[in-house]
């Protein structure tokens, strides 16, 4: 491991210019040393707080095969939430036995595929899924966990809040669904290893995860006394936020793990349980390890009440980063060219929505077409949420390897790929 790398990932001008020239923009850039360092730090922090831990990487955050291979190399389990994500892990060389399969509506074919691959764990989300599993189960190495809804309300955008009672995810503890699920799974001889929850994402206040963990721990203790069932695993999910802007103040991972574990462990200790504790972060592992490079294009100013607004258009937008449009996510935007005078501008994309990517950010007053901008903290939920909207090809991804040398890990989508799935029926081709 080389000397620690600063977070979040940032490029100097010569490197940014070299990468932009070689691979084009928009361009996702990831750092291998930073990803490895972040995983190791998270693991060490968790391990320092509790003796028996397990860390998964939530591959939905960024499913680049290179990252999955690195996470596996760093001994993480891989959380997959679809057959596609499972196939991604397999393509990256991750054994299915190291994968954990999530999803609130897994279909029978997905489940059959996962079992055929000998997946390590299936996290059963609801009563019909438990019934289906019991009806098809044959002795095998796969474990089952139950996803529970602990009924906590995370302080985050409603679109990424998942732990509350009114949620499509998990078996509610409060209305008895969780206990019913456990009874059915045990009666059906499913190998239930324990319980799981994930209460939300980009959480800057840890109270929701802690309350969710406490809810799981209390439930596990109560199931021990009521059903004589001993949970071997409790997974507290992901959710730890990152500082995408200077206003975001997440806990450092050491304090977070200490606080989270302390309150959960107290309940487990009192109930005589010593399960393996798991966490399943995505954003906190990869978010700061990636950035996006854009090139500035059209610049215009418009009159607004009390002054003028400057729009700075870049060569990407909604299709490579839908998060601002989806839930108002904010980022820092940095010009690669230093300037003595800064002025506020709204960075917008090329798409047919207003596509205000980064409203009201400070940029050089003399910003000009052709300038490069970097947007740190886009390693999570950017590439994996990208689309072809407006027929924009998905950007390339470059991984900076251990000594900083770039490796192309995903090339820019070609026009041939863009149209590969289409067919013009007879008589429509002219």
CB closer to ligand PLP out of 11 and 236? 236
Residue 61 interacting with ligand PLP (CB under 6 A): yes
Q: 238, 275, 290, 364: which one contacts ligand PLP (CB under 6 A)?
A: 238
Cα–Cα distance list, 37 to 32, 41, 374 (Å): 8, 6, 22
Residue 282 interacting with ligand PLP (CB under 6 A): yes
Contacts of ligand PLP in 98-117 (CB under 6 A): 102
Binding segment for ligand PLP (CB under 6 A), chosen from 107-115, 175-183, 275-283, 390-398, is 275-283
Least distance to ligand PLP from the beta carbon of 281, Å? 4
Residue 214 interacting with ligand PLP (CB under 6 A): no
For 302, the token pair is 């418009």
Residue 170 interacting with ligand PLP (CB under 6 A): no
Residue 253 interacting with ligand PLP (CB under 6 A): no
For 357, the token pair is 């990517």
Residue 398 interacting with ligand PLP (CB under 6 A): no
Residue 79 interacting with ligand PLP (CB under 6 A): yes
**Residue number, nearest CB to ligand PLP:** 238
Chain CA centroid to CA 378, Å? 11
Active site residue 140: no
Binding segment for ligand PLP (CB under 6 A), chosen from 2-10, 171-179, 222-230, 277-285, is 277-285
Residue 366 phi, psi dihedral angles, 5° rounding: -100, 30
What value does the CA radius of gyration of the chain take, rounded to a whole number of Å?
23
Least distance to ligand PLP from the beta carbon of 243, Å? 14
Binding segment for ligand PLP (CB under 6 A), chosen from 58-66, 175-183, 301-309, 331-339, is 58-66
User: Measured at the alpha carbon of residue 378, what is the angle toward residues 66 and 364, in degrees to the nearest 5?
Assistant: 135
Size of the site for ligand PLP (CB under 6 A): 16
Residue 379 interacting with ligand PLP (CB under 6 A): no
Residue 239 interacting with ligand PLP (CB under 6 A): yes
Least distance to ligand PLP from the beta carbon of 387, Å? 18
**361 touches 314 (CB < 8 A):** no
Residue 334 interacting with ligand PLP (CB under 6 A): no
Binding segment for ligand PLP (CB under 6 A), chosen from 16-24, 204-212, 231-239, 422-430, is 231-239
Please pick, among 76, 117, 197, 352, the residue that the annotation labels catalytic: 352
Least distance to ligand PLP from the beta carbon of 164, Å? 14
Residue 283 interacting with ligand PLP (CB under 6 A): yes
Q: 83, 280, 334, 371: which one contacts ligand PLP (CB under 6 A)?
A: 280
Least distance to ligand PLP from the beta carbon of 399, Å? 20
Least distance to ligand PLP from the beta carbon of 125, Å? 9
Binding segment for ligand PLP (CB under 6 A), chosen from 53-61, 307-315, 344-352, 369-377, is 53-61
CB closer to ligand PLP out of 317 and 379? 379
CB closer to ligand PLP out of 96 and 336? 96
Least distance to ligand PLP from the beta carbon of 384, Å? 10
Least distance to ligand PLP from the beta carbon of 368, Å? 36
Judged on CB neighbours under 10 Å (0-12, 13-18, 19+), 306 is exposed
The 10 Å CB-count burial string (b at 16+, else e) for 219-235 is bbbebeeeeebebbbbb
CB closer to ligand PLP out of 86 and 345? 86
C-alpha to C-alpha distance for 348 and 81, rounded to whole angstroms: 31
The residue ranges that bind ligand PLP (CB under 6 A) are 58, 60-61, 79, 102, 198, 201, 237-239, 280-284, 380
Active-site annotation, residues: 352
């Amino acid at each position: 491991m080389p000397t620690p790398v600063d977070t979040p990932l940032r490029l100097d001008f010569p490197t940014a210019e070299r990468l932009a020239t070689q691979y084009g923009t928009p361009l996702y850039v990831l750092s291998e040393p930073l990803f490895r360092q972040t995983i190791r730090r998270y693991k060490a922090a968790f391990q320092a707080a509790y003796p028996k831990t397990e860390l998964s990487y939530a591959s939905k955050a960024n499913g680049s095969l290179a990252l999955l291979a690195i996470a596996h190399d760093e001994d993480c389990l891989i959380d997959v939430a679809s057959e596609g994500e499972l196939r991604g892990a397999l393509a990256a060389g991750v054994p299915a036995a190291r994968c954990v399969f999530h999803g609130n509506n897994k279909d029978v074919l997905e489940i059959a595929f996962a079992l055929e691959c000998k997946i390590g764990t299936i996290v059963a989300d609801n009563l019909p899924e438990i019934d289906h599993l019991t009806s098809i189960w044959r002795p095998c190495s796969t474990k089952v966990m139950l996803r529970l809804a602990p009924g906590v309300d995370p302080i985050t955008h409603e679109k990424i809040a998942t732990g509350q009672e009114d949620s499509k995810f998990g078996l509610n503890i409060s209305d008895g669904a969780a206990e019913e699920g456990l009874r059915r799974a045990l009666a059906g001889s499913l190998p239930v290893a324990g319980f799981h929850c994930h209460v939300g994402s980009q959480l800057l206040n840890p109270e929701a995860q802690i309350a969710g963990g406490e809810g799981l721990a209390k439930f596990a203790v109560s199931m021990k006394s009521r059903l004589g069932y001993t949970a071997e695993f409790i997974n507290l999910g992901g959710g730890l936020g990152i500082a995408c802007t200077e206003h975001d103040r997440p806990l450092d991972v050491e304090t977070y793990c200490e606080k989270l574990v302390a309150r959960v462990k107290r309940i487990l200790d009192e109930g005589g349980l010593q399960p393996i504790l798991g966490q399943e972060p995505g954003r906190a592992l990869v978010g700061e390890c990636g950035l996006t490079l854009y090139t500035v294009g059209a610049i215009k100013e418009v009159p607004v009440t009390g002054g003028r607004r400057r729009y700075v258009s870049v060569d990407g937008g909604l299709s490579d980063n839908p998060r601002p449009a989806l839930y108002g996510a904010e980022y820092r935007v940095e010009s690669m060219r230093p300037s003595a005078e800064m002025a506020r501008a709204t960075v917008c994309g090329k798409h047919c929505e207003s596509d205000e990517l980064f409203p009201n950010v400070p940029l050089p007053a003399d910003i000009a077409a052709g300038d490069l901008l970097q947007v740190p903290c886009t390693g999570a939920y950017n590439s994996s949420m990208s689309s072809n909207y407006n027929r924009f090809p998905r950007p390339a991804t470059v991984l900076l390897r251990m000594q900083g040398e770039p490796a192309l890990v995903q090339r820019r989508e070609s026009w041939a790929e863009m149209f590969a799935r289409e067919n013009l029926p007879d008589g429509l081709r002219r």
